Amino acid sequence: MTGPGGTPLFTLADYADAARKLTDPAVWDFLAGGAGREQTLAANLAAFEGIRLRPSVLTGAGLPDTRTRLLGRDWAAPLGIAPMAYHTLADPAGEAATAGAAGAAGLPLVVSTFAGRTFESIAAAAAGPLWLQVYCFRDRATTRALIERAERAGFEALVLTVDAPRLGRRLRDLRNGFRLPPGIGPANLTGTGFDSPSGHALTAFDPVLDWSVLDWFRSVSPLPVLVKGVLGAPDARRAVEAGAAGIVVSNHGGRQLDGAPATLDVLPEVAAAVAGACPVLLDGGVRRGRDVLAALALGADAVLLGRPVLHGLTVGGQQGAAGVLDLITEELAETMSLVGAGSIADIGVEHVYSPSAVAPAPARPRTAPPAGPAVLRKEELHGSLADPVLDTMNFLNEITHRYPEAVSFAPGRPYDGFFDTEQIIDHLRRYLEHLEQGGASPGAIRSALFQYGPAAGQIREVIADWLRRDEGIEVAPEAVVVTVGAQEAMFLAVRALISRPEDVLLVSSPCYVGITGAARLLDVEPVAVEEGPAGFEPAALEAAIRAERARGRRPRAFYVIPDHSNPSGATIGLRERRELLDLAAREDLLILEDTPYRLVSPGAQLPTLKALDRDRRVLHLGSLSKTLFPGARVGFAIADQEVVDAAGGRGLLADELTKIKSMITVNTSPVSQAVAAGMLLSAGGSAAELNAKNAAHYGDAMRAVLDALAAQFPAAEREALGVRWNEPAGGFFLAVTVPFRADNAALVQSAEEYGVIWTPMSYFHPRGGGEHSLRLSVSYLTHEEIADGIARLAAFIRARAIPA
């Protein structure tokens, strides 16, 4: 099969790219999009990307047999076509063409309530099993008529969708003002209002269904009823108890509740709960034959393939859909051969390496449940572990590991060329000399390295002196808490300050994921304050504060990176800094100032918020990872705010943070502190002097990236494609706006096919946003790698772009 221009189509991703080029952008968004920030849409794909398969050799399995049997029918493979509305958007023949392709492949088709072709015409074209997907309408007579009509046409099962009391909030469709094109509509329903799918669902779907609806379905038809939309063991058990003939583990392709887990992640617990009482199917994120095998290994009896079938229809009608089904079936057989599975019944949990593989093994005839080690249910662990923000960097690291030859603009870490391992010994000796010169005895020096040391840190004087020299921050050493990186400092600050349910942490958005992750671990939901076109705007923060107070909540602290922020690279101007401090004083707000990139940026820097702070409104968070070296993991918090207890006793916030730290990490590694202090002391106590060469290097790297972007995208092409970027004066990062969704799926394609890695900006928006932007880090690459990487990135952008 070939795509536009005769391009060969070797993967389902190839079909998707070809289909995108042939599809109206608004229609593409309707077919491809998901709900909200599309985190669940991305999670479905990422879950399969995280699976590793375990080969088994010399098994004597022979040629693999992909056949299976479900609900009394033989299938050529454990693969069916998921219900999707309006195949006629992809090809005029619509579901009739799909049915022809499915029948030729020996696979079943689940026909949507909102099919664009009549049940009778679909049945006439079908040579394989047909099932009817059903939404239960408020008007049960309409639902009954649909079921009876499908039954007369020869349909063999009903698939009740239970996760849609209304359609999810699909932002692409809202922004496009999407309406079905003329001539497209539900061929098996009568009435009006179908041109707005979400609007029709809101008025027509029954929002008060309970498990008794299965009894009603059985009273209407003898056909078996499968329940689609189950995402956990409790609902799986209820479905079995209610008499479901099968369960489809589904999150509606990421189109309903954004933030719901990936279907593959919950599959093992559902399969264990069902315990073989009925078939378990899965949809969502299946894009390769190996994905089918992974789902079977983790508990599914079969999978349902969705969007790729529409891609095939778009590219080549029935022949294109058949090509998609043939391709994934062939990939499944190939994967079975390589893992040593001769038949579908041979596939089990032993064939995968995956976090999911430690969940309950599928309790079904072909695989016995394991005995012995304890198995925990993820649903019973802390809710933050299901939050996509905790998976984002793991996914990015996995992509980087999987494609080692790709040029990566993802890691925001210092350039390796600055490090010499012998210097660590020199810096350690320099600190020991410092202790000796200060009058420490040999025993005290030995203890300073080998014992825990004070929880607040043993190099507080060195840090306070450095901040006074380089930053004009005058604080006593007692106000310093030395932490395990700035990440611990954030955790301590949020834990201490956000004490009541009504307390609010505000964050400048786009936002470094470390603060949102720390907050989530503490059950704190940060409130995003979106940057304007020129960066942070005090008026936006003030409006957010007033809005939270109107809700009866107490704005407590605001997190911001004022200089060369991660991820956008934006810097707050001097006037806005003063306005922010004035606002904090007026509104009784603390500012969490994070400052990792100031001293690794060229030229004079604006004063920090802490240096301008006269009212102790700023809790200054810092890290030596960029200015010294990341492996030391030395950060700090400057917390000179006064704390008064109920008895009138007075102390510093730093003392309270130290108490929390003593219960988490106890102390920061004395050896790391010693090396970090020795580095500072070797430069006369000035990190600015130590980093002068580094700052010039990073400034040159930023200019090299900006020059390469300008060379690859001349102004006219930039305008035509809708590509633009900002031009930070320092730091490690800049943001590029692109005319497509820069999501995990796009990142995988970029790494796999073009050999370049970047970071989706959507990672950094706590409440949605950044879907069409990506972050580039300039710090870790040589100029030659930058030029090569930007050329690869430009090729990828052009391939994905739709001219504006």
User: Which of 686, 668, 598, 600 lies closest to 632 in space, CA to CA?
Assistant: 668
- List, in order, residues 6 or more apart from 417 with CB less than 8 Å away: none
Taking the alpha carbons of 530, 532, 538, 542 in that order, is the dihedral positive or negative? negative
Quickly tell me which residue has 């391709």 as its tokens.
Answer: 327
User: Which of 259, 305, 225, 223 lies closest to 48 in space, CA to CA?
Assistant: 305
Distance, CA of 262 to CA of 283 (rounded, Å): 10
564 is catalytic: no
Quickly tell me which residue has 């359609």 as its tokens.
Answer: 167
> Which value, to the nearest 10 degrees, does the dihedral of the CA atoms of residues 497, 500, 506, 512 take?
70
Distance, CA of 146 to CA of 221 (rounded, Å): 11
User: Which of 657, 628, 624, 669 lies closest to 480 in space, CA to CA?
Assistant: 657
Enter the tokens of residue 401: 């590991």
Please pick, among 252, 427, 620, 697, the residue that the annotation labels catalytic.
252
User: Which of 268, 401, 267, 287 lies closest to 32 in space, CA to CA?
Assistant: 287
CA 340 to chain centre: 33
User: Rounded to 5 degrees, what are φ and ψ at 570?
Assistant: -75, 150
Distance, CA of 632 to CA of 421 (rounded, Å): 12
As a residue count, the chain comes to: 804
Distance, CA of 73 to CA of 79 (rounded, Å): 13
Distance, CA of 31 to CA of 85 (rounded, Å): 9
User: Which of 617, 390, 564, 570 lies closest to 487 in space, CA to CA?
Assistant: 390
User: Within 10 Å of residue 321's Cβ, how many Cβ atoms?
Assistant: 33
Judge whether 172 and 33 are in contact, CB under 8 Å.
Answer: yes
User: Which of 772, 605, 617 lies closest to 699 in space, CA to CA?
Assistant: 605
Distance, CA of 630 to CA of 626 (rounded, Å): 6
User: Which of 422, 413, 423, 425 lies closest to 671 in space, CA to CA?
Assistant: 425
Taking the alpha carbons of 349, 355, 356, 361 in that order, is the dihedral positive or negative? positive
- Catalytic residues, by residue number, are 252
